Every structure is written in C-alpha cells, then in structure tokens.
Copies of this chain bind each other. A is one copy, B any other.
Amino acid sequence: MKAKLISLAVATAFTAQANAGTVTSDGADIIIKTKGGFEAKTADGDYSFKIGGRMQLDYNSYDGVINKEEGETGSDLFFRRARIEIKGKVKDWGYVASYNLTDSGSIDQLNTTYLGWGKTALLTFGQQKENFGLEDTGSSKWTTGMERSLPASAFDTGNTVGIKLHGATDLITYNLGVFKSAIDSDDNSLDTAVTGRFVVRPINSDGVLVHLGAGYTMRDGEFDEIGARLGVRGGENKTANKVKAEYNSGFTGDEMSAWNLEAAANLGPVHLMAEYFDGEISGASGTPDLEADGYYLQAGWIVTGENRSYKNGIAAFDKVKPKGKGGAWEVFARYDSLDVTGGDASPLVDFTGEEAQTLTLGVNWYVSPAVKIALNYVHAETEVKKSGEDDGDALTARLQIAY
C-alpha cells in the first residue's frame, strides 16, 4: 500500500515535470518568487536578491494661475517616475539600488544598511531618504494624491548621501542622520544636513492606527528660494507655476532649517492625515531671511473596504492591496496651504504668489497590487496674481505599474 502511494507520488511528480529540467541551488535552499518582478532568497534568510521597477505615466491639463503662460491651457503626457530597483541582503548587510530612467538617468537611492543590531537600530549608508515628514517619507507609489502637498513639497529634503540611524518597534519609530546637504554640491567644503524624526503610535492594532510625530532638519549650503508648484508638475515642458519667495540674483541664504508636526489615523477603510511645516532660510550677511509655513489636511475612504497598509519601519503609509476582482476604489480630499511671506520685507526678495491654497479631490483605482490608476482634480488659489490670474484648475491622471 505504502509503496503504491509512493509510486503514485513519484509518478505524479515526474509527470508534472515531463520535458522539464530540475532546478537546484549550489548550496543553501532557495525560495523564488515572481509577482511581476523577481526575487530569490535563501531559506535561512541570510541572502536575498530582488529586482523590479516602477512606471508612472501622467497626463495633465491645467490653466489659470497653475500655468505659466497667461490665458492658455498647458498639458503634457510624460513619465513622472520610471525606475529600475534592485534590493538584497548579504548576511548582516542589506542594499538598495534604485535608478531613475528618466532625464538620461540618475541615482534615486543607492545605499547599504547594517542589519546586525536588529530592527530597532539600523544604520544606512549612502543615498537615501532623510525621512522628514509623513507624506515625504512614504513611497511615491502610494501617496494618496498624485503629487505631494504644497508644504511637503516645499520642505522636501530629497534623497541625499549620508548616514542614518533608524529603528522601530510597534510603538515608536525614530531616525537621526547626517547627510551631505545636496547631491551635486560644488563647494570645496562639505555642506552637511542633520535630520531627525520621531513618531509614536498610541494605538496600532486591528486596523486602527493613531500616528503622532515630529521632525526637524537643519542644513548648510546655498539656498536661493523656498516654495512649491501648485499641485501639478507640468511635465517636460516645465510650464507649471510655483508659489515661492526667492532672493534676487546674486543673493543667497547659507542655512535652512525646518520642523514639522504630523498626525494620522487609519480607521479601517478611512484614513485621516495632517501635517504642519515651518521653516526658514537664514540669509548670509546683509541678506534677509526667508520664512515659510504651511499645512495640509487629508481624508480618504476606500469604498471597497480595504485598509491603507502602514510600515512601522519608516512610520508611513504604504500600498493598498485590493481584495476583490474589481480592485479597490478610493476617494479622497486634501486641502493644503503654503505661505512664503513670513520673512523680512526686503527689496532683495522676490515673492511670486506669496500664499497659496489648493484643494485636491481624487479617485484611486488599485486595479491589482501592481497597477494603480489615479484621477485628480486640483483647484488652486494664490493671494497675488501670477500670469495675470489668482486661481486655476487642473485635471491630472496617472497609470502606474509597480513590479
């Protein structure tokens, strides 16, 4: 009887592999995976390799104050982001290599992380996110709005080269790092930035999450403006307006600092998110300071009932995994405001727009874990006319595949 069962089992195995070869490893047992990209890891967890990518294809149409060209409607079709991403692990060291394919190529992230002390104390070396702000720290694949809010854009630290200590438990997440202030600094001396963030989650269970955090960044270097685009990128032709305060040509500030407060909640399929940012550029001798502050309020509801996932490790929201065959549908609204007039009045500073608010209404369709389709409507208003207008509208759409 036993022998019969075995023969059956073996026969079945051999049948299933008719005309097929065996696949073995040269040492440790390996588990592989393809969900679009490809991943291999040893069963003991010592080694892993993963390759994938992302593409965000955007269409937008925008007029009024959002467009630089007076009285006209701007529109574009372009890759907002396109990357190839490699991640892996070699025992106690993890690595990430993420490369931007657009604009003839550039490094997005390139770093290695020492994992030997466990999840509560990771040390990442190389080009990485500084992790300042909730919306900026989350992946650009899974922000609710297609573009981040005005203040998150204005105070975005970008991905810089440095060393960051970071870690998390269920309750808290922290990071503190020292970075080269800008990627392509031409200075002889090394301009540095110090950035830290601390998040606590008083509630974090059963799909209910309360997130409270604060961050701070202080940066040496040359700074000539502070501001943000009005919710639209404008693509390659770069005709989207910015609201900003900037020094007249030849003048710069030599230090930038900013702090933020962040609060968020995940209540099953509903999420709420808000951040406040306040920062300034300190003028060099004889040059005035530039000051700016802003906030956003956002609420989203996944109509089909899924939750936004959340990563304790970076204290940020992540992907929405649709449950049903029709995908997950989300509606959201965001109101944000940026005021760049806080600095000293001075003939050395040029203000454009001075203060702006945008209201963004949108629908996200998470077609599958890999494909997301987004449609956003943006209404923008500025205190002072730009290109002859003080309000404008935009319609933006995105097709995203992440594999």
Contacts and interface: CB of A to CB of B under 8 A. Distances in A.
Interface of A: 2-7, 9-10, 13-14, 16-17, 19-38, 40-43, 47-49, 51, 53, 55, 57, 67-69, 72-79, 82, 84, 86, 88-93, 95, 97, 99, 101-107, 110-112, 125-127, 161-162, 180, 184-190, 236-237, 239, 367-371, 399, 401, 403
A90 B32 contact: no
Contact of A188 (B49, B78, B239): B239
Contacts of A37: 49, 88
A303 to B, nearest CB: 21
A90 B370 contact: yes
B237 A74 contact: no
Contact of A26 (B31, B187, B189): B31
Contacts of A73: 189
Contacts of A14: 9
A103 to B, nearest CB: 8
Contacts of A27: 19-21, 33
Contacts of A34: 30, 40-42, 47-49, 88
Copies in the complex: 3
A112 B399 contact: yes
A68 B363 CA distance: 56
Nearest to A18: B24
A403 B49 contact: yes
A282 to B, nearest CB: 22
Given A31-B20, A49-B403, A190 B88 contact: no
30 contacts: A6-B6, A6-B10, A17-B24, A21-B24, A21-B42, A24-B31, A25-B31, A26-B31, A26-B32, A32-B32, A36-B47, A36-B49, A36-B88, A36-B89, A37-B49, A38-B49, A53-B97, A57-B161, A68-B188, A77-B190, A79-B161, A82-B97, A84-B86, A90-B403, A93-B367, A101-B107, A102-B107, A112-B371, A125-B399, A186-B237
A58 to B, nearest CB: 10
A190 B190 CA distance: 42
B86 A53 contact: yes
A169 to B, nearest CB: 27
Contacts of A97: 53, 55, 82, 84, 101
Given A88-B37, A95-B55, A189-B72, A7 B16 contact: no
Given A3-B7, A9-B14, A188-B239, 6 more contacts: A21-B42, A36-B88, A72-B189, A74-B188, A93-B401, A104-B105
B9 A371 contact: no
A34 B187 CA distance: 41
A15 to B, nearest CB: 12
A72 B188 contact: yes
A76 B190 contact: yes
A111 to B, nearest CB: 8
A112 to B, nearest CB: 4
A368 B112 CA distance: 14
A384 B251 CA distance: 38
A21 B10 contact: no
A107 B100 CA distance: 10
Nearest to A96: B55
A82 B98 CA distance: 11
B20 A26 contact: yes
A292 B3 CA distance: 79
Contacts of A36: 47, 49, 88-90, 95
B127 A93 contact: no
Given A34-B47, A101-B107, A126-B55, A188 B237 contact: yes
